[in-house]
Structure 1
Amino acid sequence: MILSLDTSTTVCSVALHTLNGELLGCYELYTERTASSRLTMLVQDVVAHTGRTLADVSAIAVAKGPGSYTGLRIGVSTAKGLCYALDKPLIGINTLAAMTEQIRAFYAPETLFCPMIDARRMEVYCAVYEQGGPELVATNALVLDEASFADLLANNRVVFLGDGSDKARAVLTHSNAIFPDVPVRPSARTVGTLAVEAYADGRFEDLAAFEPYYLKEFMTTRPKQQVSV
């Protein structure tokens, strides 16, 4: 089996798949703030409630990013800790690729997909995928405006998905821009789907060197200096 974790955003999810891709169980928490602190509890629950043990797991998969700095750090740290403790290999899955996997089957073969995770102001983390194919546009941080994706939209129908797509909807008026009515959030369910393929291909991470795919440096602000009165 493969145990998959996703803490890329405020969604915290854990899934368990067999090596032939059957979903055995999935727990997801949706909160206004990151639920990553509850990750260990979800791992214990999904394993126990499917009648398995952690010793039955063949590999650990984790959504490697992009996404929330804190969420990714907690998810990757937990995944690596499990790998060390259980002596299992680690599989890293791009969060955006896993989001796209949720809706591929509902669209025509020529459709393009642009998953988006909300960043600051008009910025999003995004990529563009072909139907059933690799990245057409590599994962990047993009500040959206009216000209964004103009070349792709001129000749392709593009599905914009994820919480960052609300920003795209506000500025992209091209008739080829498609916005699903149902929200698409990062989930360990499709992290696991892609991890099954990676496991079959032997695509494992270097456990010691693996780091989250933050995409951008973590931005902090200095606290204001207190002034004595």
Structure 2
Amino acid sequence: MLILSIDTSTRGCSVSLVSDEGLVSSYELFTDKSSSSMLTTLMQNCVEHAGFALNDLDAIAVAMGPGSYTGLRVGVSTAKGLCYALDKPLLAINTLEAMALQLGKFYEDHLLCPMIDARRMEVYAAIFDSKNNVVLPTQAVILTENSFDELLNTNKIVFFGDGSAKFKSLIGENPNAIFPEQDIFPSAKTVGIFAVDAFNAGKFEDIAAFEPYYLKDFMSPAPKKSKALL
């Protein structure tokens, strides 16, 4: 089994090649601006430098969201295009679930709350235990100082991702709220791990009908009025 996994959920862009024996190769690019324009190059490098060709793939996996509207659209459309061109099945993995898998082995007695910035004081978030079982399902959360109070009263929770800094500024000192110093980004590596399980379970998407998991409608800026109309 050979699966190419893609994650463009945020400004970062990552691609991994995985087999049922584990990670084969991986390329990641994180910049201040969107790096999704490099996606095609990263995919080619990831596959070819591992000694394979695109036709050798058994499936394409993509982080379906939530995340950046533009990033998700680019990642999903690229994955679908590859599936059509190569006649391969499509696998879709929840971005937050894949993020949580990065930290589970480091915080075995904690809950994990990946957060992706959704502008203003809103984040996309979910809470998992260290085995990646869902404690709080994926949702858009408007943060306040009292967010997650019920769970924080009885659990240590690790908050991470590019939306966690906003919550840290609100909650102040709380011994049960942990914020890792190292930035944690969505990664195609953990998307690939879930993709192997999804492939074995036959959880393939309808390529024509599949859409990213935006979670909420895209809000474009209101057009500026011309001076003649003011």
Q: TM-score, normalised by structure 1?
A: 0.96
How many angstroms does 1:228 deviate by?
Answer: 4.8
Quickly say closer, same or farther: Cα 1:134–1:209, change in 2 above 3 A: farther
Residue 8 of structure 1 is matched in structure 2 by 9
- Partner of 2:153, secondary structure, is helix
* Runs of 5+ consecutive residues of structure 1 not aligned to the other structure: none
**Cα deviation code 1:166-191 (max 9, x no counterpart):** 11111223211111121100111111
Structure 1 residues 37-76: aligned runs within 5 Å: 37-76=37-76
**Cα deviation code 1:27-49 (max 9, x no counterpart):** 11111111111111111111111
- Partner of 1:155, secondary structure, is coil
Let me know the Cα RMSD of the aligned residues.
1.3
Quickly say closer, same or farther: Cα 1:133–1:29, change in 2 above 3 A: closer
* Runs of 5+ consecutive residues of structure 2 not aligned to the other structure: none
Distance in 1 of aligned mates of 2:66 and 2:56 = 29
Distance in 2 of aligned mates of 1:223 and 1:202 = 45
How many angstroms does 1:61 deviate by?
Answer: 0.3
AA aligned opposite 2:89: P
Distance in 1 of aligned mates of 2:176 and 2:222 = 43
Residue 120 of structure 1 is matched in structure 2 by 119
Residue 202 of structure 1 is matched in structure 2 by 202
What is the number of equivalent residue pairs in this alignment? 227
Distance in 2 of aligned mates of 1:14 and 1:83 = 15
Distance in 1 of aligned mates of 2:44 and 2:185 = 23
Q: TM-score, normalised by structure 2?
A: 0.95
How many angstroms does 1:138 deviate by?
Answer: 1.0
Residue 98 of structure 2 is matched in structure 1 by 98
- Partner of 1:105, secondary structure, is coil
- Partner of 1:124, secondary structure, is strand
Q: Does 1:155 align with 2:154?
A: yes
How many angstroms does 1:220 deviate by?
Answer: 0.7
Q: Does 1:184 align with 2:209?
A: no
